[in-house]
Chain A
């Protein structure tokens, strides 16, 4: 009999735990949710300025736009595909800054500001596609193998210890590449709780492949 009571209690307890239902969320076919309510990154702008004059170099900002974020309509470089080629001068220093936008929102939402606020769990990486990193400690330095381009992080995150963020970087070119285009990949990695200054942990938020040529 004890078992009966025990079981009845168990069953009773379960009976009261009915489905959590929200009356106002009853299905209504005429009212689908507008899809653009979650995180969407539509646009990446790479501003490259001469480090002395602080003027944009020709073609800057280099824009990649994916009008509805990943999925849906495909993305592309603006205004033409040729804008994926970044032309730099030999033996010159530049200052570069990455701006990320969500242009589906009105007003346009700055994702790069959100990244800066959560800098301890994000990091930008620059390489030729091999995801290697020459110096994963302060000062953070990336070498673009082949082109001789050296990228030095100009900002640090808010974590402890402080690590590079890479939203702002210095670019220093070496000798001219005699017309050869080298891959130049910009990646934003989301590394909550696992950021250690290297590429591998976490997952990719943004990945855009430019080409670079040094004249």
Chain B
């Protein structure tokens, strides 16, 4: 026996394996003696007073893969360690990097809890849990997401990487997507044009399905949702698997059925607000070590009843509707019938994606997609003079076919650079078969982009540039003479950003970008009456492209007791396209109608989003989130209409301790305040903006462990006090109150039918 010598030291330097950068704040932990230290600004570390023996050294650094090294100490030892990056490029199976998103942009994940609560509702409802996101609604069943007050053409929705191409021009045209298909939803706030295409001035919404399983298994999930308001039922299921015998092949089928009846306000039912939805998709994937291919097909079908009192004859009718306490077609009784007027929409998507590893650290993606969108709208009444009127034919009928081809090559760290280069092409054809509202057109667009990112451990810098050309050939009749104008636009979008990591829990990113958007067909050529709003909209063929310069800066903190995210943004528009009310009404045989002209102005839209989550206690957390937004028309020195008002939401959540039978159990309550929109242009609306309102909500959820089977049961109550209110961003506010209390019941059953791992 000899006295143990405990005077040895272990010291060295931690560097980035790729670029030799010295890594400060690396944490080294010796398991046996349970001691942790942190490297200094030169990446150096020293453990002192070590006894002779074998030790397990664990090194962690954010952005790097955790590394374990076994060392034997017999004397003072020097050990320099090179840390690898944390991507799985050497993995046995082919893993496609999900980090293709620009990290210097404000990218927010939609929380699973918000996705769950919105199950059976619209896509926009799922997004509204994120501050800065609102929606433009037509009642409770038609909802268009808005990012920082901008919607429609100015945001892109990417369904598994494919830009959703439907009939975006209408304020009552909701995106044709089944939210149940998406496992992950994230939102890019601020211009995302360089990466996704010139239209994404205000941002992008990214919906991603789950990865296909890579081990031999058959698993799935069943979701059942019921609502008291509308007496709605939703059933959705996923089944996916990996073939044991056919190595590399995986598959998934997914489907959703939904039926909902008339929605109810606190005092009456809204006639003809039933909906029916039927969606499905399937995916087949093949993955090998350096190659992967995926085939995806989805179909979305919906019939949506449009509240019958919202279809009116003229301005006098609209004023009468607004002055009456109850709408004409308010009902005392409930019905599931979808009558006239209604929308019948189908959207089909076929996608093929191939990726090839072009080296250890780079990949090439080729994606081709075909989309077909049919939008049929049926008027409230058949035309009087058409004796041979075919009531099965829609009065408005638009069919748009879009073909896209995208090429992208991306590389991981080459020295300190990561980047992507791409090109895209789209051919689009629109045809109408019913009444004229927007013309037939052929739209050809192509673009190319490059984004490079300089990545250090403490900061990242990014620069991106994109060039696009767009050719638009339209066809329509004017006084029985065929018009076929041809327009083209070409321009550049650019983006630069910085992401600074002050420490592991404090991150600051700033992005400056410029983006542009070519005017859309309705902004150029529309010339018709909108029955829902009793207004005439007139396009202007002289409208030029709209240019936006935007700035966004986000500070994020993740502390043990507090999460905080604060974003400030400002978008300056040169030639913002909007609808301006005309000074004199237009006389028609139906009476006088206000005329709205598509015009351009210089606009400034600025705001602040915030979200704080305080964990007051192990089981109690308090959340406060909200937004402020100001939208100025600089040319005319007024406000821009149809912008969200300031709002805030506070919620309290109590999480129960897990037990043998239950886990993830919580109960929460929330209070939402929406201010009155005081900032509206004068004479730009038929009725004053509605008053401010409060809504109370509650929800509870638990996951039961029944033997091997898990089941999640949840309940959410919205507008708990059955408050009577109207919302500025709801088109139906002219006619009726917003919907009243709604209780949602959810059941989630994950299925494991067969899994080789177990």
Contact = CB atoms under 8 A, between A and B. Distances in A.
B44 interface: no
Interface string A204-215: 111111000000
Interface of A is mostly: loop
Name the residue in A18, A37, A70, A205 with the highest tally of chain B Cβ atoms < 10 Å from its Cβ: A70
A14 interface: yes
Interface in A164-178: none
Interface in B364-398: 372, 374, 380-381, 383-387, 395
Contact of B255 (A11, A205, A208): A11
A3 B751 contact: yes
Range class of the A interface residue count: 35 or more
B431 A38 contact: no
Nearest to A199: B320
Nearest to A207: B591
Contacts of B424: none
A44 B399 contact: no
Interface in B281-336: 282, 299, 301, 311-314, 316-317, 320, 328
B404 to A, nearest CB: 16
Interface stretch (A110-118, A144-152, A154-162): A110-118
B84 interface: no
A28 B381 contact: no
B480 interface: yes
A207 B318 CA distance: 14
A15 B433 CA distance: 27
A75 B381 contact: no
A19 B434 CA distance: 19
A74 B589 contact: no
A207 B435 contact: no
A59 interface: no
B480 A36 contact: yes
B666 interface: no
A208 B434 contact: no
Nearest to A201: B328
A32 interface: yes
Contact of A33 (B255, B432, B589): B432
Given A38-B386, A72-B528, A114-B384, A4 B589 contact: no
Interface in A1-39: 1, 3-4, 7-8, 10-11, 14-15, 17-21, 25-39
B529 interface: yes
A4 B278 contact: no
A190 B328 CA distance: 14
Contacts of A83: none
Nearest to A105: B385
Given A32-B439, A33-B434, A190-B313, A41 B589 contact: yes
Interface in A47-82: 64, 66, 68-76
Given A18-B299, A19-B348, A38-B395, A44 B753 contact: no
B381 A192 contact: yes
Interface stretch (B459-467, B471-479, B502-510, B621-629): B471-479
A68 B479 contact: yes
B253 A11 contact: yes
Given A32-B431, A70-B593, A105-B385, 15 more contacts: A1-B753, A11-B255, A14-B278, A18-B299, A27-B401, A29-B441, A32-B476, A38-B435, A66-B587, A70-B588, A71-B536, A203-B314, A204-B591, A206-B589, A208-B591
Interface of A: 1, 3-4, 7-8, 10-11, 14-15, 17-21, 25-39, 41-44, 64, 66, 68-76, 102, 105, 109-111, 114-115, 118, 131, 189-190, 192, 194, 200-209
9 contacts: A7-B220, A32-B439, A32-B477, A39-B383, A43-B589, A70-B529, A70-B593, A194-B328, A208-B591
